[in-house]
Amino acid sequence: MPRFAANLSLLFTECAPLDRFAAARAAGFQGCELLFPYDHAAADLAQAAEAAALPVVLINTPGGNWAGGERGVAAIPGCEARFRDEFDQALEMAAALGAGLLHVLAGLAEGAAARATYVDNLRWAAARAAACNPALRLTIEPINGHDMPGYFLQDFAEAQAILAEIAAPNLGLQFDAYHAQRITGDARAAWDDLDMMPLHVQVAGVPGRHEPQSGEIDFSAFFTQLECDGYSGWVSGEYHPKRGTTEGLGWLREAARG
Answer whether residue 135 is part of any domain: yes
Answer whether residue 189 is part of any domain: yes
247 is catalytic: no
Q: How confident is the model at residue 214 (pLDDT cuts 50, 70, 90)?
A: confident
Q: What confidence score (pLDDT) does residue 183 get? A: 99
141 is catalytic: yes
Answer whether residue 196 is part of any domain: yes
Catalytic residue among 33, 86, 211, 238, which? Answer: 238
Answer whether residue 185 is part of any domain: yes
Answer whether residue 258 is part of any domain: no
Average pLDDT over residues 173-187: 99
Q: Which H/E stretch holds residue 257?
A: helix 250-257
Q: What confidence score (pLDDT) does residue 184 get? A: 98
Q: How confident is the model at residue 257 (pLDDT cuts 50, 70, 90)?
A: confident
Q: How confident is the model at residue 101 (pLDDT cuts 50, 70, 90)?
A: very high
Answer for the pair 246, 13: CB distance below 8 angstroms, yes or no.
no
Answer whether residue 45 is part of any domain: yes
Answer whether residue 238 is part of any domain: yes
Q: What confidence score (pLDDT) does residue 81 get? A: 99
Catalytic residue among 141, 158, 165, 211, which? Answer: 141
Domain that holds residue 11: 3-253
For residue 1, pLDDT over 90 is answered with no
What percent of the chain has a predicted confidence (pLDDT) above 70?
A: 100
Average pLDDT over residues 215-237: 97
Structural domain total, the chain: 1
- 139-163 pLDDT per residue, tens: 999 999 999 999 999 999 999 999 9
Residue 110 belongs to domain with CATH number: 3.20.20.150
Average pLDDT over residues 93-115: 99
Beta bridge partners of 225: none
Identify which of 250, 174, 235 has the alpha carbon closest to the alpha carbon of residue 203.
235
Q: What is the average pLDDT value for the chain, to the nearest integer? A: 98
Answer whether residue 27 is part of any domain: yes
Identify which of 120, 171, 131, 140 has the alpha carbon closest to the alpha carbon of residue 60.
140
Which of helix, strand or coil describes residue 138?
strand
Q: How confident is the model at residue 17 (pLDDT cuts 50, 70, 90)?
A: very high
